């Protein structure tokens, strides 16, 4: 069990997980009748299932699915699921961006901290160590970062010697090896409270920059980032999970 600076215990069973599932998936282009992007099939299972199974392996049990586009497909699938897990669906009444979607789910979040994950990517971070790092630094927000030899169309995050986030570089601004956002965060309720309500806002481009040089830390992992944002990446993910026998 992980002790935080305010005396709270970060037992994974008592930390909610918010998964951002509301993207339109325009680059993936699965067609009008296809499921939403997180439900894309990998080895006869939705990608979102594989992601949730991985997270559950660390003891997390309560999942809030922040859905928007084709929300009913996600809701109808997970209302039938059990396995000792709780699934809640937070539906966006309109496109709200990653920050707005998380804020829209705020009333469903019962824990003092929330683990936030993108629903279209996975980075196999040691989530218990990640929580411990967040608590040790008394952080408001902690973001998982992984090194890429060529960041390409990913944004880049820069840290100081103490692991604090000091700035961000937009896509295409960095050359050579760099740390990219792995789409996994821990956020305290005090930070979540600072996101404006009922507004379209991005975590990555609008919320996070407000916390630069505050108690905003980066957790560096060597785990690869796997996303399904394009047809090519989806096919690569299928091959990866096939070879690794899922997770």
Question: Any idea what the Cα angle at residue 136 is, between residues 99 and 196, rounded to 5°?
Answer: 20
Residue 20: give its domain's CATH number. 3.90.550.10
pLDDT of the residue at 31? 55
Alpha carbons 120 and 40: distance in angstroms, whole number: 9
Domains identified in the chain, total number: 1
- Let me know if residue 201 belongs to a domain: yes
Output the pTM of the full model.
0.91
- Let me know if residue 227 belongs to a domain: no
Alpha carbons 66 and 207: distance in angstroms, whole number: 17
pLDDT of the residue at 152? 74
- Let me know if residue 204 belongs to a domain: yes
Residue by residue, pLDDT tens for the chain (247 residues) are 555 545 455 689 999 999 999 766 555 555 566 678 899 888 889 999 999 999 999 999 999 999 987 788 899 999 888 778 999 999 998 889 999 999 999 999 999 999 999 999 999 999 999 999 999 999 999 999 999 887 777 888 999 999 999 998 866 566 678 899 999 999 999 999 999 998 899 999 999 999 998 899 999 999 999 988 888 988 888 888 876 655 5
Structural domain boundaries enclosing 207: 12-143+183-216+234-243
- Let me know if residue 91 belongs to a domain: yes
Alpha carbons 164 and 204: distance in angstroms, whole number: 16
- Let me know if residue 126 belongs to a domain: yes
Alpha carbons 161 and 134: distance in angstroms, whole number: 16
- Let me know if residue 93 belongs to a domain: yes
pLDDT of the residue at 88? 95
- Let me know if residue 225 belongs to a domain: no
pLDDT of the residue at 7? 46
- Let me know if residue 28 belongs to a domain: yes
pLDDT of the residue at 33? 66
């Amino acid at each position: 069990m992980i002790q935080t600076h305010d005396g709270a215990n970060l037992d994974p069973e008592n930390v909610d997980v918010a998964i951002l599932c509301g993207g339109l998936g325009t680059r993936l282009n699965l067609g009008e009748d296809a499921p939403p992007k997180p439900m894309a099939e990998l080895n006869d299972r939705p990608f979102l299932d594989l992601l949730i199974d991985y997270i559950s392996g660390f003891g997390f049990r309560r999942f809030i699915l922040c859905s928007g586009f084709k929300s009913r497909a996600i809701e109808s699938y997970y209302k039938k699921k059990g396995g000792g897990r709780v699934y809640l669906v937070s539906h966006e009444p309109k496109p709200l961006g990653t920050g707005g979607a998380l804020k829209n789910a705020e009333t469903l979040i019962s824990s003092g901290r929330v683990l936030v994950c993108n629903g279209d990517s996975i980075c196999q971070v040691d989530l218990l160590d990640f929580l411990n790092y967040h608590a040790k630094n008394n952080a408001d927000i902690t973001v998982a970062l992984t090194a890429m030899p060529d960041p390409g169309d990913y944004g880049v995050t820069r840290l100081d010697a103490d692991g604090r986030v000091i700035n961000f570089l937009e896509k295409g601004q960095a050359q050579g090896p760099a740390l990219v956002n792995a789409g996994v965060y821990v956020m305290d309720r005090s930070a979540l409270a600072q996101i404006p309500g009922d507004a379209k806002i991005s975590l990555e481009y609008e919320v996070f920059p407000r916390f630069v040089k505050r108690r905003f830390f980066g957790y560096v992992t060597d785990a690869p980032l796997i996303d399904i944002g394009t047809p090519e990446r989806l096919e690569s993910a299928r091959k990866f999970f096939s070879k690794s026998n899922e997770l």
